[in-house]
Structure formats: structure tokens, C-alpha cells
Structure 1
Amino acid sequence: MGTIRTEPTTALHVVAMPYPGRGHINPMMNLCKLMSFTKPDSLFTFVVTEEWHGFIGSETKNPANIRFATIPNCIPSELGRAKDFPGFLKAVATKMEAPFEQLLNRLELPVDVIIADTYLDWVVRVGNRKNIPVASFWPMSATVFSVFHHFELLEQNGHFPVELSERGEERVDYIPGIPPTRLVDFPTVFQGSGRKTLSRALEAVSLVSKAQYLLFTSVYDLEAQVIDALKPKFPFPVYSVGPTIPYFELKDHSSVISSNHNVPAYIEWLNCQPKGSVLYVSMGSFLSVSSSQLDEIAAGIHNSGVRFLWVSRGETTLFEDGCGNMGLVVPWCDQLRVLGHPAVGGFWTHCGWNSTLEAVFAGVPMLTSPIFWDQIPDSKIIVDDWKIGWRVKREVGSENLVTREEIAKLVKSFMDAENSEAKELRKRAKELQETCSAAIAKGGSSYTNLDSFIRDISQGQAK
């Protein structure tokens, strides 16, 4: 990785407006940190609700040039988001615009650019009204963006709406830059009750054309064909600046044995495990699988005889008899640090985009267990396009439980150092890791794109 450079340039004031969800706030903050290291004389005003400021305000030490600003809790709490997701989306779409614009009016320094989560499409309207350039920040894969952008093609070809139980295996091969994809591998917003939120996603993506920049959290080299196909569709720069994960903080935290007494207990445990022997398990921070499926997963992993580190949000009674010396269950961990630890040889993941990018960065193959939204196509990308993972469920969307016997067999094969198919996954994962490292090194695609974006907004070149 190249060293992060600094150069004396004119000051810059960036307002960052993330969508109020953990998987959106984190990549936005990571982008701001990267930009602040690159341009230390800039100022970042990071806008969150008062509730979210309570969650994240004291979590990390931010650079001095990143400051928080809050708007009132005008949307349902985190608990409300999980209970009524369509209602939460509606509140985000209708309740945040006015307090955000009032906040802009109170800022002392002029704003040079607003970086806003694409799903907050009203920010584009605010920016255009106030003559402030807006960079639309897409927190999912470029592939998923392209699916929404080309939604009319699905309708024209009779692939929406469809009954997935009858036509789910049909392949869509006409979206520019995207390999043939089964209908069951499209985002869940195309399916069943998920359609209630589809119009929000389509509206947000359609308004990107009114912004002045489009930023992808992806790495260009991982999705080159789809990004190349999208670039001509917009009259402004499209930059891939990923992975927007906290890799720049890793140099401060060695993942191996350290004399530092502040080493977390889970890292000390990993330090005692053989190389590549531990399966890291995390189901994400929002939705979870059913309790009956969770029981099967826990029993299956336990019965596989494979070492595991499991991040469990509240389900601490998963292993009532304890994990023995083969496993550890923790409520939270520094995921990127864990994935980069030599003892970790695989990742059971829900396939959120941030987690996917962290696994690629760390060179760790994945067992994919998607639940919702873009996790379904992410699983397809991991397994079919990148070939660095296996699916836990063979039939996507099936209501049938994956049994503990199936899970034990799968996990055992996946983590077997001598299994030829698993060996191929590991080899391919290391190749993609090198691709990712090259992108963020000096002269790489992400390094260059971030530089270009900063130069554009510094010079006021938004069109």
C-alpha cells in the first residue's frame, strides 16, 4: 500500500450526509478519513441524527478536521427500523430534508461539496437549490446500482414482475456489463414483500443524474465491466474509490502476538490457533436469520470440529454448554483486524457489501448466507463471478432450513487445507487481495480516483 500523502492546497469544506444505518455510516466515515489524510487542511462536517451521534460519537478517534453535526431524531430509532422497514424508509425520505437544509444555513464556512448517500436523494435537490455540488455516494456494489439503473430493461423483457418459484432460474443477460444472472440472484426488493421498498431505490438511483459526481465504494478492478458500462450514462465524473473500509487504521494494530497489554482477548485467542484454522462467523448488524436456523448453524459449526470465532449480537446462549477450546463467542470485534489475522481461514458472512470488501481485502474465502436486499446479488458475485466462496444454501430463497448435518459437512470441507476445491478458493482469494492492494497503492485505480475527485472539488470543477 502506498503511503498517504499530503500536499499544501487551498482549504476545502466537505459536508457528509450518510444514510442512518451502520452499513452506510461506516463507509462514509472511512471515505472522509481517507480524504482528510490526503488533504489535511480540509474540514469535514459529518451529519448524523442525535441518536446516531450517541452511538458513534465516542467510538473512534477521528482526525481533528472531521467534526460531527447533528440533526434532531426525526426518524424512527434503530429498533423501529427493524420492525417497520418500509415506514423507516418513508421517514428518511420525508423527515430529514428540512433539518438538514436548516443545518447548512447555520454553517459558518461555505460548503464546497456535499457527499451524500445515494438513498438520500433529497440531498441532490437541496444542493441544486443552494448551488452546492453533490457527490452521490453509492454504498453497495456497482452491479446492484446498474440493476436499478437498467430496471426498465427488466420490465421490457418481461422479467418484472415474475413469480420466482416458477421462473427464478431464468437468466438475465442484457444488462450492460453484468454477467448472466438468475432472477433469484437479484436484490430482494424485486421479490414478495420487498417490492414495497423498490420504488424508493429506483427513485434514488434515477436522481443520481441530477448530482455532479458519482462515487462507488467498490474497487474498479473488481467490477470493471459494469463500471465501464455505466460511465457513459452520466455527464459527470464517476469514481470508484473503494474499498471504503478502515484499512488505513491497520498499521496501528498488529494482528499477531504483541507485548501491548491492550490486545483484546479475542486476538489473544486467535494468536494461539494454528494458521488458517479458524472460521470467522458474523451475521451482520441489522437483520438476522430465524432462531431455528441459527440453532442449526450453531450445532453444525460445533459438530464440524472446526475452530470458530463467532460475533453474536445478543445470542450469547448459542452454546449453552460452552464452546470448549475450539470456539469463542464475542458480542463485537474489530472485523477487519480479525479477517487479517493469520489464524483465520474462512468467513461465514451475510454478504453485506462492506463485509464482502473486507474479506476481499484480507484475502479470505467466504461461505455466503445472504438474508436481504443487496446481500443476494453480493453472494452471486462472490460465488459465481469472483469464485472465492461457496453458498450455504443451494436454493436461494428456499424456506427449507439448512440442517446441522449439511452445515457440518460444508464447513469441514471448506476449512480442509487439503480439499482441492477449497484450495482453489484460497488461491483465488489471495489473487483478489493483491488486486485490492494494488488499487489503493500509489498509482492504483482507487488512489488515482480519490486524488482526481479531491482535485475536482478543490478546483470547483463540478459541471
Structure 2
Amino acid sequence: MDSVKAEPATLCHVVAMPYPGRGHINPMMNLCKLLASKTNNIIVTFVVTEQWLGLIGSEPKPDNIRFGSVPNVIPSELVRAADHSSFFEATMTKLEAPFERLLDRLEPSATVILADTFLFWAVGVGHRRNISVASFWPLAASVFTVFQHFNLLSQNGHFPLDISGKGDERIDYIPGISSIQLPMSIYTIGPTIPYFNLGENSSISSNHNDLNYLEWLDCQPRNSVLYISMGSFLSVSSAQMDEIAIGLRDSEVRFMWVARDETCRLKEVCGDMGLVVPWCDQLKVLSHSSIGGFWTHCGWSSTQEGMFCSVPLLTFPIAVDQNQNSKLIVEDWKIGWRVKQDVRGESLVTREEIARLIQKFMNLESDDVKEMRRRANELQQICQRAIAKKGSSETNINAFIKHLSKCDGR
């Protein structure tokens, strides 16, 4: 790894370590790009496995962000298999040692470790080396609340934190935790999506019969296309995929489906009302005027992008935090409908159900759809205010940078 030369004395070196999954790597990289854009006094070493470096190493990034890599300690068969528990165990037990060896080689030395909250061992690494650790939570704040008992902090007036005071106060009411000082300062910086790239020409294009998908979208009526993407890691059964494809065909609704490895097979089933592509720039697609709805697995990054673009959502959660995100979308925010009502059941959603649902969902004359789109627009305005000048996102990012500048290894 090349060393950075002639750094200013106040240089802050952030070593970012995301959990090795697309829904964790992307938001952390977006945060790092925002940090790097604020000041030249921050450099970032973004650490990924060699497998991920091969996938994202050529993506454009600011000059003060560089990649660091650790060996592929996670067996390749676990990366794409359904054995999620073994994959998680590997990240917990096999990444720590090579990450520490990487820290030994870095110049300048790390000032701060910015680690995915799921990588619990990073806190121990920072403690042993006297390096400050910032924990990055890439999922919904509501999921964090469930995981971390922050509802108890809120009930007792300790959350949100006033970072200017209460630093020495202790709490003793979290189950299983002895009396401790209040948690570290918390900065809400969402949405952590690449909104700063909108308007730029994408460096990668995806073609369908030599027709660029953005050009195809340009030719479709406003709000007429259903965009479908169910993530890059978890998957549904082949039988359910066939029901979705046939239901989509029978609905006679325009569509664009990112189907990854099943592109060729699904092209044959879906009919000629739309496109099936292996990849796209999702945020640019969702922000396109022809997109009228988003069938999503409810990963948090996809959920944020849908909200940011004011696109109503058809929710099809698969696992992990996705059921909670679906609940937020359908019940709390009321900007989407469920595809599958029995979220815990194993029964297939049939092609007939899917066709009827898509037709209703994409009917712009429906009063229910109009109300859903109105609420989606309200949430979009909230997102826009958050990232605006002096908005909550920018304010908290700047506060975090100020905090980083004071890190002295303690």
C-alpha cells in the first residue's frame, strides 16, 4: 500500500472497516466520501476483503480515500450461499487478526477506526491499541433501538443525547448491564446513499439488446414503470421467482427488473413489456421520471433510496432487518403495500395475486395510490431537508468531523 506523504500535522487518518456485505459496504463508503469531501485534513483507508476489492476497487472515489485489503478469510462458498450463520461467524472470528496486521502496515498510523457496529471485535482492537473507535450503524434507527435497548434510554431522558453535557452521568437500568457511563456521542447522518452522484454520468452502463436502460426509461410515460430489485445477497426460491415473473407478465405493466444471475431465464418468462438487466445504477433509476413504483426486499439502503426519490414501495422482505423495514414502510409511513401478507409463512404468493396487486399498485387514478404517493412526497421533502445546507445530516457530519479532530488515541 502506498504511503501518503507530506500530510499536515492535523491529519486525521480514518480506517473504515465495513461488514463484508453490499448493504454495509455501500453506506459506509458513502459516509467516507462525505467525510472526505469536507476537508483535506482527513484521509480514509477503506478496508475490504480481496474478493470485494475486485468488485469495487475500480469505482471512482476522492483522492483522500484509498483501499486497504485483507485476505479472503471467508470461504467463497459462504459469500453467495444461504448459510448466513456461518458467514456471520466467519466475520466474527476470522477478520480481526488480518485487520490488526493491516493496521501495523499503515502510514500514517490510524487515528480513528470507523467500524460497522456488527463487527464487535473492532472495539477491542481499538482499546488494545489506544485508537478511538467510531461505530457505524448502517440499518434503520428503529432496528438499532430494538437491538440496543435505546428505548430505555429514551424513557429515562438519556436519548437523544445532549453531547455538550451529561458526559459523566451513569445509567443502571439496561438489563444485564452493570452501571456504566452514558454511551458515546451519537450522530444521525442519514440518508447514507450516493445522492451526491445524481446528475453525473455513470461510468458503467448496462445494455439490453444494445439499448441502454436509461435511454429505454426516457421513452416510457411518466410514473408508468415498476422497478424490481430484491438485493444482491439473500434470495427467494426459484418457484417464487417464477410466480413473480409470470404475475408481472400477466399484469401487463411496464417494468425494469434487476435480476443478477437469473437475467437470461427471466427474460424468457416476463414478456416484452420491460427490461431484465443484471445491474443498474439504482438511485439514478429510482430518480427517473418514468418510475412509478419499487418492488423491494426492504434492505435499508434500498428503502432509503426509495424514500429519497418519492417512489411508493411494494415490500417483499426476505430476512434480517427487512421485516422491520417493511413494517415501517407499510404501517408507519404508509408509503407502500405488502406483497406477502403472511411474512412468517412459507407459502408462495401466486401469479394471480401478484398480477392483481401490481395492477392496483400502478393505477395512478386510484385514490389509495394518490394518497400513498402524497405521503411518499412528504418523506422525500424530509430527506431533502436533512441533506440541505444546515440540515440535520450536514450538521451532524460536521459535528462528527469536529469530534474526529479532537481524537488523541484515548
- Give the TM-score, by structure 1 length: 0.76
AA at the equivalent of 2:107 = E
CA distance in 2, matches of 1:144, 1:322: 35
> 1:61 and 2:9 equivalent?
no
Q: In structure 2, what is the equivalent of residue 330 of structure 1?
A: 277
CA distance in 2, matches of 1:322, 1:406: 16
Q: In structure 2, what is the equivalent of residue 15 of structure 1?
A: 15
Q: In structure 2, what is the equivalent of residue 123 of structure 1?
A: 122
Q: Displacement of 1:460 after TM fit?
A: 2.2
Q: Name which of 198, 214, 222 aligns with 1:267.
A: 214
Q: In structure 1, what is the equivalent of residue 105 of structure 2?
A: 106
**Aligned pairs, how many?**
371
Instruction: Quickly say closer, same or farther: Cα 1:412–1:23, change in 2 above 3 A.
Output: same
Q: Name which of 383, 387, 398 aligns with 2:330.
A: 383
Deviations 1:7-46 (CA, angstroms, capped at 9, x unpaired):
x993221100011111111111111001111113321111
The alignment partner of 2:261 has SS state of coil
Instruction: Quickly say closer, same or farther: Cα 1:38–1:374, change in 2 above 3 A.
Output: same
Indicate if the aligned counterparts of 1:147 and 1:175 stay in contact, CA closer than 8 A: no
Q: In structure 2, what is the equivalent of residue 74 of structure 1?
A: 73
Q: In structure 2, what is the equivalent of residue 164 of structure 1?
A: none
Indicate if the aligned counterparts of 2:249 and 2:269 stay in contact, CA closer than 8 A: no
Instruction: Quickly say closer, same or farther: Cα 1:233–1:340, change in 2 above 3 A.
Output: farther
Q: Displacement of 1:462 after TM fit?
A: 8.3
Q: In structure 2, what is the equivalent of residue 3 of structure 1?
A: none
> 1:247 and 2:195 equivalent?
yes
Root-mean-square deviation (CA, aligned residues, Å) is 2.2
CA distance in 2, matches of 1:264, 1:449: 42
The alignment partner of 1:320 has SS state of helix
Instruction: Quickly say closer, same or farther: Cα 1:416–1:233, change in 2 above 3 A.
Output: farther
CA distance in 1, matches of 2:241, 2:63: 42
CA distance in 2, matches of 1:264, 1:24: 31
Q: In structure 2, what is the equivalent of residue 146 of structure 1?
A: 145
The alignment partner of 1:390 has SS state of strand
CA distance in 1, matches of 2:407, 2:195: 29
Q: Displacement of 1:55 after TM fit?
A: 1.4
CA distance in 2, matches of 1:433, 1:175: 30
Q: In structure 1, what is the equivalent of residue 43 of structure 2?
A: 43
Q: Name which of 388, 391, 394 aligns with 2:341.
A: 394
CA distance in 2, matches of 1:239, 1:450: 7
AA at the equivalent of 2:184 = F
Deviations 1:340-395 (CA, angstroms, capped at 9, x unpaired):
00000100000000000000111101000000110010000111111100000112
Q: Displacement of 1:95 after TM fit?
A: 1.1
CA distance in 1, matches of 2:365, 2:316: 24
Gaps of 5+ in 2: 1-7, 156-179, 203-209
Q: In structure 1, what is the equivalent of residue 30 of structure 2?
A: 30
Q: Displacement of 1:265 after TM fit?
A: 0.5
Q: In structure 2, what is the equivalent of residue 135 of structure 1?
A: 134
Q: Displacement of 1:318 after TM fit?
A: 1.5
Instruction: Quickly say closer, same or farther: Cα 1:411–1:322, change in 2 above 3 A.
Output: closer
Indicate if the aligned counterparts of 2:111 and 2:409 stay in contact, CA closer than 8 A: no
> 1:361 and 2:360 equivalent?
no
1:213-224 alignment runs, 5 A limit: none
The alignment partner of 1:239 has SS state of coil
The alignment partner of 2:255 has SS state of strand
Q: In structure 1, what is the equivalent of residue 163 of structure 2?
A: none
Instruction: Quickly say closer, same or farther: Cα 1:351–1:274, change in 2 above 3 A.
Output: same
CA distance in 2, matches of 1:97, 1:61: 27
Q: In structure 2, what is the equivalent of residue 438 of structure 1?
A: 385
1:269-308 alignment runs, 5 A limit: 269-308=216-255
CA distance in 2, matches of 1:75, 1:395: 34
CA distance in 2, matches of 1:233, 1:459: 20
Instruction: Quickly say closer, same or farther: Cα 1:253–1:424, change in 2 above 3 A.
Output: farther
Q: In structure 2, what is the equivalent of residue 403 of structure 1?
A: 350
CA distance in 2, matches of 1:9, 1:78: 45
Q: Displacement of 1:269 after TM fit?
A: 0.4
Q: Displacement of 1:407 after TM fit?
A: 0.8
Q: Displacement of 1:264 after TM fit?
A: 7.1
CA distance in 2, matches of 1:343, 1:420: 20
The alignment partner of 1:358 has SS state of helix
Structure 1 residues 105-114 or 431-440, which shifts more?
105-114
Deviations 1:397-450 (CA, angstroms, capped at 9, x unpaired):
122211111111111111101011111111100110010010011111111000
Q: Displacement of 1:235 after TM fit?
A: 3.1
Q: In structure 2, what is the equivalent of residue 428 of structure 1?
A: 375
The alignment partner of 2:63 has SS state of coil
Q: Displacement of 1:81 after TM fit?
A: 5.0
The alignment partner of 1:67 has SS state of strand
The alignment partner of 2:262 has SS state of coil
CA distance in 2, matches of 1:379, 1:282: 15
CA distance in 2, matches of 1:444, 1:329: 38
Indicate if the aligned counterparts of 1:306 and 1:411 stay in contact, CA closer than 8 A: yes
Indicate if the aligned counterparts of 1:12 and 1:458 stay in contact, CA closer than 8 A: yes
Q: Name which of 398, 403, 408 aligns with 1:456.
A: 403
The alignment partner of 2:275 has SS state of strand
Q: Displacement of 1:234 after TM fit?
A: 3.6
**Aligned-residue identity in percent:** 60
Structure 1 residues 373-382 or 40-49, which shifts more?
40-49
Q: Displacement of 1:461 after TM fit?
A: 7.5
Instruction: Quickly say closer, same or farther: Cα 1:383–1:462, change in 2 above 3 A.
Output: farther
CA distance in 1, matches of 2:378, 2:211: 30
Q: In structure 2, what is the equivalent of residue 84 of structure 1?
A: 83
CA distance in 1, matches of 2:95, 2:260: 29
> 1:238 and 2:186 equivalent?
yes
